[in-house]
């Protein structure tokens, strides 16, 4: 399918989805969000794809929801259409691993989108923020919840209440991003991580993702039980015996997602 606001490339089991509205710093308008949802659905359905990278430009991952498009809307408009309700779940419905490769601004909805991915690799020029307060609104697709879980109440409150940006170094220190790399190496690092993930058993990757995400939704004892049962269930797979035999035979495992 031809897209106008994103670019999608699938190579070596990795789908790279690049947000592409350079004139607006990749502001998330309804066309882009619709195209992104469609590309994510395609990548989910494509058997060749084993990992997804979501990225933007060197200047902006995304500078937030499109303020021009939002500015004319009334309460009734946004409430009745449940603005961003569907868009917020599109990425959460993806069961395959999704890496956010973030350079430049990841603000408002851009920061929230990155946080909905499974982990964030940040370029050293990345800037994260929830500056919605400057526009007289609060975050709308998870900023108050996910940022708080990622970096704790103190920093989350600070960022939401002052609208200040967090640079890549602070974001890594606070636990928002998994690693920081020189901007010029961002895509190479993300591709290497994606390739590593792609060579594992997809069965196991999906289970890992479910188990980690469960930790945000449940108590520790329920989460531990969920994990243990998943661990037990892996013993019904061929990939479990392949993985363990390969280790014992000192060779690389050939996973078949079975």
Active site residues: 65, 109, 112, 132
Pairing of the two strands 14-19 and 6-11: antiparallel
Q: Least distance (Å) from ligand CO8 to the CB of residue 121?
A: 20
Q: Which helix (H) or strand (E) holds 127?
A: strand 127-129
Among residues 65 and 100, whose Cβ is nearest to ligand CO8? 65
Alpha-carbon span 66 to 109, nearest angstrom: 9
Binding site for ligand CO8 (CB under 6 A): 24-25, 27-28, 33, 63-68, 84, 87, 105, 107-109, 131-132, 134-135, 139-141
Contact 106, 128 (CB under 8 A): yes
Alpha-carbon span 159 to 114, nearest angstrom: 16
Q: In this chain, which residue has its C-beta nearest to ligand CO8?
A: 108
Among residues 68 and 196, whose Cβ is nearest to ligand CO8? 68
Among residues 163 and 243, whose Cβ is nearest to ligand CO8? 163
Q: Least distance (Å) from ligand CO8 to the CB of residue 146?
A: 12
Q: Least distance (Å) from ligand CO8 to the CB of residue 20?
A: 13
Q: Least distance (Å) from ligand CO8 to the CB of residue 120?
A: 17
For residue 247, how many C-alpha atoms fall within 13 Å in the half-sphere facing its CB?
A: 5
Q: Which residues contact 171 (CB under 8 A, 6 or more apart)?
A: 120, 122, 126, 128, 151, 177, 180
Among residues 19 and 101, whose Cβ is nearest to ligand CO8? 19
Contact 124, 180 (CB under 8 A): yes
Using DSSP's 3-state secondary structure scheme, residue 107 falls into strand
Q: Output the six-digit token pair for 79.
A: 């409430």
């Amino acid at each position: 399918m031809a897209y106008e606001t994103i670019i999608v490339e699938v190579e070596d089991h990795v789908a790279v989805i690049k947000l592409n509205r350079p004139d607006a710093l990749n502001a998330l308008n309804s066309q882009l969000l619709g195209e992104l949802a469609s590309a994510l659905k395609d990548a989910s359905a494509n058997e060749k794809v084993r990992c997804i990278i979501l990225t933007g430009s060197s200047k902006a991952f995304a500078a937030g929801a499109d303020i021009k498009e939002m500015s004319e809307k009334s309460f009734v408009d946004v409430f009745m259409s449940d603005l961003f309700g569907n868009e917020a779940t599109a990425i959460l419905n993806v069961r395959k691993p999704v890496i956010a490769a973030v350079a430049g601004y990841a603000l408002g909805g851009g920061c929230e989108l990155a946080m909905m991915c499974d982990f964030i690799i940040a370029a050293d020029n990345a800037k994260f923020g929830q500056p919605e307060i400057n526009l007289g609104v609060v975050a709308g697709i998870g900023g108050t919840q996910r940022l708080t879980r990622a970096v704790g109440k103190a920093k989350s409150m600070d960022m939401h209440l002052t609208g200040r940006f967090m640079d890549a170094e602070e974001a890594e220190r606070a636990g928002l991003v998994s690693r920081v790399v020189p901007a010029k190496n961002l895509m190479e690092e993300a591709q290497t991580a994606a390739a590593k993930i792609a060579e594992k058993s997809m069965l196991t990757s999906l289970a890992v993702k479910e188990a980690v995400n469960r930790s945000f939704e449940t108590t520790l004892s329920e989460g531990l039980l969920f994990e243990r049962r998943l661990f037990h269930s892996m013993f019904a797979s061929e990939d479990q015996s392949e993985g363990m035999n390969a280790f014992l035979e000192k060779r690389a495992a050939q996973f078949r997602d079975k």
